[in-house]
Structure 1
Amino acid sequence: MRNKLTFKMNMPEINLYIVIIGIASTILLFYNLYIGCLFFFGFVYIVAHNWRITNIRRKEWTNYIQNLSLDIDETTKKAILNLPIPLCILEFDGSISWYNSKFNDMVESPDLLGVNIDNIVKNLNLRKVLNENKEMYTDIKYKDREYTIVYNVIKNEKEKNAKYLMMLYWLDKTDHLNLQKQYEDEQNSMMLIQIDGYEEVLKSTDEDKRPLINVEIEKMLTSLETESKGALKRTSKDKFVLVMNKKELKKLECDKFSILDKIRKIDYGNNLPVTISMGIGIDGDTVNENLKLASGALDLALGRGGDQAVIKTKDKSVFYGGKSKAIEKTTKVKSRLIGHALREVILESENIYIMGHKYPDMDAMGSAVGIYDICKSCNKFANIVLEETNESIEEFTKRLNSMDYYKNMFIDQDTAIKNCTKNTLVIVVDTHRPNHTECEELLNISEKVVVIDHHRRGVEFINDTVLLFHEIYVSSTCEMVTELVQYMEDNVKINKLTAEGLLAGISLDTKNFAFKTGVRTFEAASYLKKVGADTVEVKKLFNSDIKDFITKADIIQSSKIIDNNICLAYSNAEIDNINIVIAQAADELLNIRDVEASFVLGKKGNKIFISARSLGKINVHVLMEKLGGGGHIDMAGAQVKDVSLQTAYKMVQDIIEENLKEDK
């Protein structure tokens, strides 16, 4: 109501009063001539006075606007002239038409008018700015200073034909970047250090020399502390914590962690080499998060065989070192403990699935059947998930399917997924990578997963396992399963064919007991022989036909020797078991004198299979890991999809040559 009242009390415009007076004076002329004339003359005066005053005020307002525009123009000019950042105005051909004092100070040239901007700064795409018709930004480096150039197009309307100019603002961000770099360099990194196989190394040394090894290790790590300006603390007899800033860590990266090589040279009569594993956590939001990252990095380093440094952030992991083989542990306590725990887990489960990796070999299938027999000894029925067989396990699966003992043992993926629940026990053998398993979906459904594997650990890993048996120094998963059979609480009886499958897996991964063979390997083989494994029948599992021999001969003929000690070969053969043939060919190539490593490629469908073998001096696991594969220091492989054989061959060759450059 108050607003409405205010509206009614507002005074009308003055022109309305004049019109009312004019109408009133006209009406009065009809009723009273004298009074009407008086009012009419008053009306004429008011109109004339109003017209005069309006003109005066219009002129005053025009003058005010003009003066204000002049003031604004003058202020704008002064602001541009005194702008605290470099500024220049360009024609679209790049010539400088105007610049302020800051730009002149930046360029340090007496006369810049008409000079093309390309003579000062290269690669400024001025035409693109005109086409885009919007502000654009370019980062450049000029005279050791970092700038962001802001482009702004303006139109000059005063010209007869509209003229476009370009204003370039030079924002100096050098101090900001230096401060940002200083902040990043001063961030703390957490490093956990562990001496690999500490007890075994000391036992391999004379008792009077053992303290000297300890002193030498601590001396080298203290030297690392001093050089990196960090803080070192020994937390136990074989573990250390080192804190340093990121800048010093980058120096260690550039040096490729030479501390690993220095410690490996410690020699006081020890039969086993002294090596360390380093887990480094950086770029965490807190110190505690860096510690967790470092712990995960150390687990990765140890899971890959030790003697290496792993730098872990929230997004990725970077590996250095890894030149030594893992030290074989003579104690079987862990196998006994895992065997007991596995038995308890099996007894608690009603539904059990066993699976290996895709394209399973005899190590995966032999160990899977070994676990099947363990379950059977515990009066639990288990299934092995197998979608399809391949040449490497075809003979073995035929024998299994022909016996009632293994009746209904194999199931396909769809059946397993359909019947799997969160309480289903899933036992994964011969792999630890989720995407390499026969059926990854089972890992997402089940909450009870057991992993038994001997491969060097990669970045991808099956997490949240109820039981993990991961020993990278062991020759094969079949050896691990054989030890579980031996040392479970109750005596487990295995079938003769199961024993032959386990022995075949050990033979495959050790290349007939030539590689990665320790005392425990022979003990496992001896036990399998004792329970009925026939070595002749095992050999028959690996028999090949004449086509395979011809293909291997062609591979050997295609061999190329790199740096006098690395053999690279390929096969164009279109055969189903090409992955097996190239693996066998890679083994054969190591028989060539002076050859330390071999790489063989073969194609099957849209995949390129790569098999890599080494006598131990060259770490083929690290090389294959760059192609998404993995394995061991002396035996590894990879698969590459949707590329030609020639492209894959070039990729492998480039990786080999890059590794050779790093070692020189």
Structure 2
Amino acid sequence: MKRKHWTLTPWFLIFAMAMLMMTMATYSYNKILCYIELGITVGAFTIVIVLSIRFQNYIKGIVKSTAEKIKGFNPEHLEKYKYPVAVSGKDGDILWCNARFRKVMCGGKSPEGESINAYLSGFDISKVCDSEGVDIACDGKEFTAFCVSAGDGIVCHFFENTYYKNIVREYHSTMPCVALISFDNAEDFFNDSDEAYSEIVASVETSLQKWAAEYNALYKRVGTNRYMIIFKDSDIDKMTAAKFPILKTIRSINANHLTATISVGLSRGEKLIKDSEMNARKALEMALGRGGDQVAIIKKDNTYEFFGGKVAAAEKASKVRMRVIANAISRVVADCDKVFIMGHKFSDLDCVGAAIGLQCIMEKSFKRYSKVVINRETSMAKQLIDYASERLEEEIFITPQEAERGVTPRTLLIVVDTHIEHSLESPQLYEKCRRVIVIDHHRKAVNYINNAL
């Protein structure tokens, strides 16, 4: 039933009365015309009356059917309810509502005949009926609407909970978000005089303290060139909108052609500071792995969002560190019985070239059985593979299936030219190998291999 039926019925009655008066006026001039007009008027009036009676019976039938289905349903009782209640037909047209509904939801106007969907924030009554409730808003207030089918009608209850929803929003906006900050290239400034190094560190720390003070956040130095700031979740929205200007502020600190940079790992969505700090460590590791000078935000669902990264990543690995890494790899290789070297899907020249070079090192320097795991059919470096196969004494290439059959508890898998699990030539081989080493030059990305030695 449409709203126009409710609004047009009075106009039909007025029009019929006007026609009746015109008919009476015509009687003195032309009786035949008067009788014709009278017949038309009576017919129109009869049709309007019949339709109105049928519609009233329809409303009574819906209300009666609803009352039979709901124990204690009584319009007089519902009229006294302190929360809005409305009864609609199956098509969603409002048949009855209490005074509270008219006052709160309609501004005092009568809504009979309108669609209830207009008061459900666009939800369709047929889809939300008998559901667990839907959250709606009306005139700046928030409600949870429960729609229950009863006979041929639907009873809609609207419970205002603006106050409680504001509390929930405030709770989420004030959840602690731990940010761990690392002064990326502090060692580069350390090569200068102690005085210059101290000035740079002091400038970086002062900038971080001002950043924390801007949001009334807790600032603490947690180690050498390491800092922690605890923000509110609502503060992070402001920072992301501004794309973290702290990165630019730190980059403005420079000396002897060197520019200071920081990496920030930030956690969102955790209720406990302990969990937030743990995730912030992961995010900081991700930011550093991607080259530094950026903010990595980890969310509750373990997805990342990145900001910054405009300064080229500086090479921070010293010769001492490289020697330590080389010695660690040597010990792992010495303790294994065989080595499989694998790259990414659709392997290219640098991937296959790196794998061949490592295979030669494993075979000749460490005297270990080693093979390059590759899919010849999908590789984009077939010429290099054929060239190596022709000139090497032994065949060094095997298929992923052959490698999987040869895995032992002491097998070492070396992954080259990628660090993302789903891009491996054979994820199944990776899952079977307990010992994994990753050698890659790309920026660290999400879904990286996290169990490498």
TM tier, shorter chain?
Answer: 0.7 to 0.9
CA contact (8 A) 1:293 1:314 kept: no
User: Using a 3 Å threshold, how does the CA distance of structure 1 residues 147 and 445 change in structure 2: closer, same or farther?
Assistant: same
Q: For the structure 1 residues 74 and 278, does the alpha-carbon distance in structure 2 shift closer, same or farther, using more than 3 Å as the test? A: closer
TM-score, with normalisation over the residues of structure 2? 0.76
Does residue 338 in structure 1 map to residue 336 in structure 2?
A: no
Superposed CA deviations along residues 604-642 of structure 1, whole A, max 9, x for unmatched, are xxxxxxxxxxxxxxxxxxxxxxxxxxxxxxxxxxxxxxx
Matches within 5 A, 1:114-193: 114=112, 116-117=114-115, 121=119, 128=126, 134=130, 137-155=133-151, 164-193=152-181
Residues 107-158 of structure 1: CA distance to partner in whole angstroms, max 9, x if unpaired? 46444164635796476566737xx985684432111112232233444xxx
Q: Kindly tell me: are residues 353 and 121 of structure 1, through their superposed partners in 2, closer, same or farther at Cα, counting changes over 3 Å?
A: same
Deviations, residues 551-594 of structure 1 (Å, cap 9, x unaligned): xxxxxxxxxxxxxxxxxxxxxxxxxxxxxxxxxxxxxxxxxxxx
Structure 1 residues 462, 166: closer, same or farther in 2, change over 3 A? closer
Equivalence for 1:292: 278
Specify whether residues 283 and 137 from structure 1 end up closer, same or farther in structure 2 by C-alpha distance, changes over 3 A only.
closer
TM-superposed CA distance for 1:360, in Å, is 2.0
* Number of the residue aligned with 1:454: 441
Deviation at 1:202, TM superposition (A): 4.0
Does the Cα contact within 8 Å between 1:364 and 1:429 map onto a contact in 2? Answer: yes
Query: Gapped runs of 5+ residues in structure 1?
Result: 1-71, 156-163, 467-664
Q: Choose the corresponding residue for 2:82, options 74, 84, 93.
A: 84
Selected match of 1:106 from 98, 104, 107:
104
| Residue 301 of structure 1 pairs with residue 297 of structure 2 | no
Contact preservation (8 Å) 1:384, 1:410 = yes
Query: AA paired with 1:386?
Result: I
Q: Retained in 2: the 8 A contact 1:192–1:279?
A: yes
Partner Cα distance (2:80, 2:273) in 1: 47
1:226 alignment partner, one of 201, 213, 216: 213
User: SS at the partner of 1:183?
Assistant: helix
Larger radius of gyration: 1
Bigger shift: 350-359 or 392-401? 392-401
Cα distance in 2 for partners of 1:243, 1:143 equals 37
Take 1:75 and 1:425, find their aligned partners in 2: how far apart are those partners?
Answer: 74
CA distance in 1, matches of 2:92, 2:427: 60
Deviation at 1:193, TM superposition (A): 0.2
Q: Which has the higher contact order (CA 8 A, sep 6+)?
A: 2
Secondary structure of the corresponding residue to residue 402 of structure 1: helix
3-state SS of 2:259 partner = coil
User: Could you tell me which residue of structure 2 aligns to residue 38 of structure 1?
Assistant: none
Query: TM-score, normalising length from structure 1?
Result: 0.53
Q: Distance in 1 between matches of 2:369 and 2:95?
A: 88
Taking the TM superposition and a 5 Å limit, the aligned residue runs for 1:212-611 are 212-267=199-254, 269-315=255-301, 316-329=303-316, 331-375=318-362, 376-388=364-376, 393-405=381-393, 407-466=394-453
Compared CA separation, residues 348 and 114, structure 1 to 2 (3 A): closer
Q: Per-residue deviation at 1:459?
A: 0.9
Q: How many residues align?
A: 383
Contact 1:281 1:313 in 2 (8 A): yes
Structure 2 residues without counterparts, runs of 5 or longer: 1-69
Displacement, 1:106? 0.8
Aligned residues of 1:194 and 1:276 also touching (Cα < 8 A): yes
Rounded to whole Å, the distance in 1 between the matches of 2:135 and 2:190 is 57
Per the TM alignment, residue 373 of structure 1 is displaced from its structure 2 partner at its CA by 2.3
Contact 1:193–1:239 (CA under 8 A) maintained in structure 2: yes
Distance in 2, Cα, partners of 1:352 & 1:125: 60
Q: Are residues 377 and 145 of structure 1, via their aligned partners in 2, closer, same or farther at CA, if it must alter by over 3 Å?
A: same
State percent identity of aligned pairs: 27
Residue 101 of structure 2 aligns to a residue whose secondary structure is: helix
Given that 2:177 and 2:266 are in contact with CA atoms closer than 8 Å, whether structure 1 keeps it comes out as yes
1:168 maps to a residue whose letter is: C
**Alpha-carbon distance between aligned partners in 1 of 2:121 and 2:140, rounded to the nearest angstrom:** 17
Deviation at 1:79, TM superposition (A): 3.6
